[in-house]
């Protein structure tokens, strides 16, 4: 009869973890934004460990025996954590506390077997996950979004220290006495390794808790006053870079990227392109159904006059040649006012970085 211990727990945990991460990325951008994770990091969390599963980077060779570090099971998680540490989206002191607790628990539950390496039995291998999840949750009660990176970092580094580094003497002994043609790999089970699972599943549980909270509602449309405050971009190059990484960008993201490209073109002195991108930014929003309805049902002389002037200016200079810097600058400002005015009516959220 099949017992609980016979179930492929590692596989199930990895599957649930990756599925939930995918769900959050697609459906709950408010959570992703709150955690401070970039699109690149989400991709690495979801796919980096699977991709690096097959790559063992040799760090020591003794005769025919290789000591290696697995790219997906150890190096990719560590690179991510170092990045968070440097960008300060990981609470540093709490990370050390969670790491120490997970390391202790991991060290207590693992055993060394010469034939298979360092293993943890069912149900003991859930303990590092539970410790990382509970501690991270308790320490970040005031700001639960920070618990996501904390749970991942504490679980991953804690398991790496407790399971592998604190058993380094066993590994070294095995390394010197192992039969030829053996690769001893740290984090070598990739997405099925405790180093990956402890961090990944604890992080997923944090995301699951966050997902239970209602999504941030988009703000209600402002009154039809025009002009209002124009869109302000803090870092246009960053907006452009994150836009390029988006799959299926929405009209708001297209509009903001258009404004960023217009800014960058103005900086370079490319006035033709600046005007084109200003116009394209407004057009991206005007094509949205809700915005189209708003424009059709709520006439506004000043707003519509500026839309018309921008369109005619674009068409005129498309045929007649490069506009001067004053025209391109005025078009850029007009586009920023129009996008700021129209965006709330589209009721969209964006995933771009660098927008003030």
Q: What is the DSSP string of 294-349?
A: HHHHS--HHHHHHHHHHHHHHHHHHHH-PPPHHHHHHHHHHHHHHHHHHHHHHT--
CB nearer to other proteins: pick between 125 and 243: 243
CB nearer to other proteins: pick between 13 and 161: 13
Q: Helix count (H) and strand count (E) of the chain?
A: 16, 5
CB nearer to other proteins: pick between 109 and 277: 277
State the minimum distance, in angstroms, from the CB of residue 261 to other proteins. 6
Angle between helices 127-139 and 194-211 (to 10 degrees): 40
CB nearer to other proteins: pick between 253 and 306: 253
Residue 202 to residues 78, 155, 222, 319, Cα–Cα distance (Å): 16, 7, 40, 59
| Strands lying side by side in the sheet with 65-70 | 56-62, 65-70, 182-186
CB nearer to other proteins: pick between 135 and 277: 277
State the minimum distance, in angstroms, from the CB of residue 209 to other proteins. 26
Residue 233 has what DSSP assignment?
B
Task: Compute the distance between CA of residue 49 and CA of residue 192 in angstroms, rounded to an integer.
Answer: 10
Contact of 171 with 184, CB cutoff 8 Å:
yes
Tokens of 218: 């988009």
State the minimum distance, in angstroms, from the CB of residue 248 to other proteins. 8
State the minimum distance, in angstroms, from the CB of residue 287 to other proteins. 8
State the minimum distance, in angstroms, from the CB of residue 59 to other proteins. 11
State the minimum distance, in angstroms, from the CB of residue 118 to other proteins. 21
Residues of this chain that bind other proteins (CB under 8 A): 39-40, 43-44, 47-48, 50-58, 61, 63-64, 66, 68, 71, 76, 180-181, 183, 240-248, 254, 257-258, 261, 264, 276-277, 279-280, 283-284, 315, 318
Task: Compute the distance between CA of residue 253 and CA of residue 240 in angstroms, rounded to an integer.
Answer: 10
CB nearer to other proteins: pick between 224 and 322: 322
Pairing outcome for strands 56-62 and 65-70: antiparallel
């Amino acid at each position: 009869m099949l017992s609980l211990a016979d179930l492929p727990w590692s596989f199930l945990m990895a599957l649930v973890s990756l599925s939930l991460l995918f769900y959050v990325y697609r459906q709950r951008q408010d959570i992703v934004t709150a955690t401070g994770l970039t699109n690149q990091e989400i991709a690495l969390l979801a796919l980096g460990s699977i991709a690096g599963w097959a790559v063992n980077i040799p760090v020591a060779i003794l005769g025919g025996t290789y000591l290696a570090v697995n790219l997906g099971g150890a190096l990719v998680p560590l690179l991510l954590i170092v990045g968070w540490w440097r960008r300060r989206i990981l609470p540093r002191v709490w990370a050390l506390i969670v790491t120490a607790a997970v390391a202790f628990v991991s060290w207590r539950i693992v055993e060394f077997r010469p034939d298979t390496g360092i293993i943890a039995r069912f149900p003991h291998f859930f303990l590092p996950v539970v410790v990382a999840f509970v501690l991270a949750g308790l320490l970040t009660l005031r700001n639960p979004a920070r618990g996501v990176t904390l749970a991942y970092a504490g679980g991953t580094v804690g398991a790496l220290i407790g399971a592998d580094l604190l058993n380094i003497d066993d590994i070294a002994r095995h390394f010197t006495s192992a039969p030829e043609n053996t690769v001893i790999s740290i984090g070598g089970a990739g997405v099925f390794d405790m180093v990956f699972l402890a961090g990944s599943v604890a992080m997923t549980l944090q995301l699951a808790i966050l997902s239970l909270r209602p999504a941030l509602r988009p703000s209600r449309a402002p009154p039809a006053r025009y002009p209002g405050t124009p869109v302000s971009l803090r870092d246009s190059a960053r907006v452009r870079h994150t836009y390029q990484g988006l799959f299926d960008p929405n009209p708001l993201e297209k509009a903001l990227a258009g404004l960023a490209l217009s800014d960058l073109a103005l900086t370079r002195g490319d006035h033709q392109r600046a005007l084109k991108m200003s116009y394209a930014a407004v057009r991206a929003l005007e094509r949205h159904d809700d915005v189209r309805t708003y424009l059709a049902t709520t006439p506004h002389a000043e707003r519509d006059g500026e839309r018309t002037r921008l369109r005619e200016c674009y068409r005129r200079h498309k045929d007649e040649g490069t506009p001067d810097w004053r025209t391109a600058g005025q078009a850029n400002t007009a586009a920023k006012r129009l996008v700021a005015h129209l965006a709330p009516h589209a009721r969209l959220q964006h995933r771009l970085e660098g927008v003030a």
